[in-house]
Amino acid sequence: MLLTELLSRINYLQLQINALRPLDDTEANYLREYDKIGLTYSSNALEGNILTESETRKLLKDGLPSGSRPLRDHLEAAGHADAFDYLCTLQYHPGFCEQTILTLHRLFFSKIHKQRAGVYRKSRVMVTGSAHRFPLPEVVPALMADFVEQAAQWRKRYHPVAQAALIHQRLVAIHPFADGNGRVARLLMNLALLQSGHRITLIPPVLRSEYLEALEISHRNRLPFILFICRCQIEAQKDYLRLLKNFSLPQSHLIGLSRKPG
C-alpha cells in the first residue's frame, strides 16, 4: 500500500536525522530561523500573500518592509512569525489544548483584527470552491473540545505524520475562526510534528492546487490528504539532511540554499 511505503521512507529518513542529533546551538538556531522564514512565507503565500521568500526574510530578520507590498501582507508575516516562536516553546510539551489553538490564532491574527484574534467565529462560513458544509458557529466550541480529545487519541493510534495530517484536516473541517484557519491548521500540524521529533513541513505554493484538492477530498476520504502530507514530510526531511551536510560551508552559502519542492 502506498501509505505504508511512504511511512517506511519517512522512518528511514528519520533514522538518518536522529543519527545527526543533537545539534549544536549554532546549527539549531540557524535551522529554527530557516524554518520560521520558510513556513511563514509558504503558509501565507498559500492564502494569497504576495511577499516573496526574500522579502519575508528581510522583514523577519532585519525589520525591512517592502514598500511595494500591502500593509496586511507585512502584518500577516509578522504575526505568523510570532505564532511560530510560540509554537517552538511547546516543542517538548506533548499534545496541546484549546488554549494552545486560541493563542496561535491570537498571535497570528491580532495585528490584523484584534477583536477577532483568538476568538471562535460567531457567524456561518462558506469557502469558495468547497462543497463542504462547515458547522454552525454555535457548535464550534463543543467540536473544538472534542477535537482536542481526538488528537490525543490519534497520537496513540497513528504514525506521527499521519496524526499531524489528521490534525490539520480536522481543524480546517471545523473552521473555528472567521479567518486564518489554514495558517493555524498548518501551525498546529507542525507543532505535532515537532513534538514527535519530526521535521517542520511546509507546503510549497507551487503545490497549492494539489493541496486544496486533497483537502477538499479529505472531507469524504482523508487518505489522499495524509498521502500528500507524507510526501511533503519526505521532502522536508531530505532538505534537512541536505542542510546539515552543508553546515561546514560559509553562512552566506547556506542562506542562498534554495528549497526544492517535490
Residues annotated as part of the active site: 175
CA–CA dist 254, 27 (Å, integer): 11
Q: State whether residue 64 is helix, strand or coil.
A: coil
Query: Cβ(44)–Cβ(73) under 8 Å?
Result: yes
CA–CA dist 101, 32 (Å, integer): 21
198 conformational bin, left if phi > 0, alpha if psi -120 to 50, beta if neither? beta
Task: Tell me the H-state helices in the chain.
Answer: 2-19, 25-46, 53-62, 71-89, 98-109, 140-157, 160-174, 181-195, 208-218, 223-245, 251-255
Query: Cβ(104)–Cβ(187) under 8 Å?
Result: yes
